[in-house]
A and B are shown apart, each in its own frame.
Chain A
Amino acid sequence: MNVWKTVAACMVAAFLSGTALAGGWESWFAGTEPGSETRSERLERESDLYQDGMDAIDDEEWDNAVRLFSKCAELKGKRADGALYWTAYALNKMGSKEQALQMIAALKKAYPASQWLDDADALQVEVREHRGQRVRPSEVDDEEVKLMAIHSLMNTDPERAFPLLEKILKGPSSKKVKEGAMFVLSQSSSPRAQALIGDLAKGGGSPELQKQAVHYLGVAGGERNRQLLLEVYNSAKSRDAKEEVLNALMVSGDRARILAAAKTEKDQELREDAIRLLGVMGARSDLSAMYASETARNVREAIIDAMFIAGDVDHISEIAKSERDSEIRMEAIRKLGIMGKRTAPMLLTLYATESSVDIKEAVIDGLFVQGNARALIDLSKKETNRSLKREILQKLSVMGNKEAIDYMLEILNED
Chain B
Amino acid sequence: MSYYGERFEHLDECDECRAELGRIAEVLDRVEAPEVPEPDADYESRVWQRLSWRLRGEKRGRPPLTRWIAAAAVFATAFFAGLLWNKNANRQAVQPAGIAATATPAAAQPASTSNQQQRDRILLVVVSDHFDQSERILVELTNLKPQEGADITAERQRAQGLLASNRLYRRTAEGRGEESVATLLDELEPVLLQIAHSPSRASAEEIRAIQKRVEAKGLVLKLRVVRADVRAKSTTNPQQPNV
Contact = CB atoms under 8 A, between A and B. Distances in A.
Question: Lowest 5 CB-CB distances: which A-B pairs, in order?
Answer: A221-B238, A220-B118, A144-B164, A397-B31, A256-B243
A366 interface: no
Interface string B214-239: 00110000000000000000110111
A253 B239 contact: yes
B121 A51 contact: no
Majority DSSP secondary structure for residues of A touching B? helix
Interface string A363-400: 00000000000000000000000000010011001100
A187 B172 contact: yes
Given A253-B238, A412-B26, A281 B75 contact: yes
Contacts of B164: 122, 144-145, 147-148, 176, 180
A189 B234 contact: no
Nearest to B74: A280
B240 A253 contact: yes
B98 interface: no
Contacts of B243: 255-256, 259
30 contacts: A119-B163, A144-B164, A147-B168, A148-B167, A189-B112, A189-B116, A189-B119, A219-B238, A220-B121, A221-B118, A222-B118, A223-B106, A223-B107, A226-B242, A250-B71, A251-B235, A253-B238, A253-B241, A255-B241, A255-B242, A259-B243, A279-B68, A280-B75, A306-B68, A390-B32, A393-B31, A397-B31, A398-B31, A408-B27, A409-B26
A89 B23 CA distance: 69
Interface of B: 23-24, 26-28, 30-32, 34, 59, 62, 65, 68-69, 71-72, 75-76, 79, 106-107, 112, 114-116, 118-119, 121-123, 125-126, 161, 163-165, 167-169, 171-172, 175, 190, 193-194, 197, 205, 209, 213, 216-217, 234-235, 237-243
A187 B119 contact: yes
A276 interface: yes
A233 interface: no
Given A122-B164, A219-B121, A219-B122, A405 B27 contact: yes
Given A54-B190, A280-B72, A183 B126 contact: yes
B182 to A, nearest CB: 13
Contact of B23 (A188, A219, A409): A409
Nearest to B27: A408
B121 A305 contact: no
B209 A250 contact: no
Given A89-B190, A226-B242, A281-B75, A47 B168 contact: no
Given A82-B197, A222-B106, A54 B238 contact: no
A183 B76 CA distance: 26
A104 interface: no
Interface residues of A, number: 68
Contacts of A412: 26-27, 30
A200 interface: no
A184 interface: yes
A115 to B, nearest CB: 7
A281 B241 contact: yes
A317 interface: no
A216 interface: yes
A332 B213 CA distance: 51
Given A151-B168, A397-B31, 18 more contacts: A58-B216, A126-B167, A126-B171, A148-B168, A189-B112, A219-B118, A222-B237, A251-B235, A252-B238, A253-B242, A256-B242, A259-B243, A279-B72, A308-B65, A390-B32, A393-B31, A397-B28, A409-B23
Nearest to B82: A253
Given A220-B238, A397-B27, A116 B197 contact: yes
A218 interface: yes
A282 interface: yes
Contacts of A252: 238
B23 A405 contact: yes
Contact of B168 (A89, A184, A223, A276): A184
B238 A409 contact: no
